[in-house]
Chain A
Amino acid sequence: MNSLFYIAAIIAIIATIRMVTGTNAVHSLLYLIVSLLAVSVIFFLLGAPFIAALEVIIYAGAIMVLFVFVIMMLNTGSTGVKKEHELLKPSTWIGPGIISAILFGEMLYILMRPASHPMTSPVIQPAAVGALLFSKYILIVELAAFLLAAGVIGAYHLGRKEKLSYHRYLKKEEPTT
């Protein structure tokens, strides 16, 4: 059981690094899916089977499919890959890398306590999660519903194409790029 955790963790880290440093958008997306699947294995090991299933279905299924649709719609192709190669110089990476390394060092320093709780895994059944979700956190569930409704309306409004206007005074001028 212990080695499963370590293997899944290493796969998650490697896949995420490959995702961040990749140039092709679709390849990066596939690495991101691998990373999410590895994290869902860890959730399963930690005694959260319901969350592991949700991670696979919603994250790796639904949200990543949205990404695939948008990448297909944009279809930047080989020009995008070439432009990304130009971005991957060390000079663009070194600043953000240092900032992230400092932050990571701080987190490690905070977590450097003598090892306390073992991650014991009494499996928490989905029924317990649901009972807690709809009793103690019912207000946040409703707020999440508001948020999702706002997301749907916002996505519809933003993703809509502009109406074609045939009158010349109503036409907007072309963006100057």
Chain B
Amino acid sequence: MTIPMEYGLWLAAILFCIGLTGVLARRDVIFMLMSVEVMLNAAGLAFIVGGAARGSADGQVMFIFILSMAAAEVSVGLALIIQLYQKFKTVDADSASQLNG
């Protein structure tokens, strides 16, 4: 491939910003968690692009760590969503703004 490395980084930046918009604008917690996944995936894409441009395997190793972190984060986050739904009968993030146990 003769595509410059910047294009891959631009793609990562675009995906990251779309995910950030989703986290900021949506109030459904499931959608917010999905947007966080998009952001993590974009960060991993930036690592892979950097590793590919230098021809080293370090970027791929970092992506594996991001993957394991995303798995742990999603499991805890989804458990929190279930707890939120059991308490408030909704998945609206605003319903949990009181923090009164």
Contact = CB atoms under 8 A, between A and B. Distances in A.
A80 B71 contact: no
A21 to B, nearest CB: 9
Interface in B28-43: 28, 30-31, 33-35, 37-38, 41
Contacts of B86: 161
Contacts, number: 241
Given A80-B28, A148-B72, A46 B78 contact: no
Given A13-B18, A100-B17, A148 B68 contact: yes
B52 A17 contact: no
A54 interface: yes
Nearest to B30: A25
Contact of A2 (B2, B49, B52, B92): B2
B93 to A, nearest CB: 11
A32 B74 contact: no
Closest 5 CB pairs of A and B: A151-B72, A96-B24, A115-B4, A158-B79, A20-B22
A42 B14 contact: no
Given A111-B13, A119-B53, A158-B79, A28 B1 contact: no
Contact of A66 (B41, B78, B83, B88): B78
Given A29-B34, A175-B88, A36 B41 contact: yes
A67 B74 CA distance: 8
* Size bin of chain A's contact surface: 35 or more
Contacts of A25: 28, 30-31
B21 A20 contact: yes
B3 A63 contact: no
A39 B87 CA distance: 37
Contacts of B52: 46-48, 119-121, 124
Contact of B15 (A12, A28, A45, A66): A12
Contact of B75 (A16, A122, A152, A161): A152
Contacts of A129: 57, 60-61, 64
Interface string B51-79: 11111111111011101111111111011
B25 A108 contact: no
Nearest to B73: A151
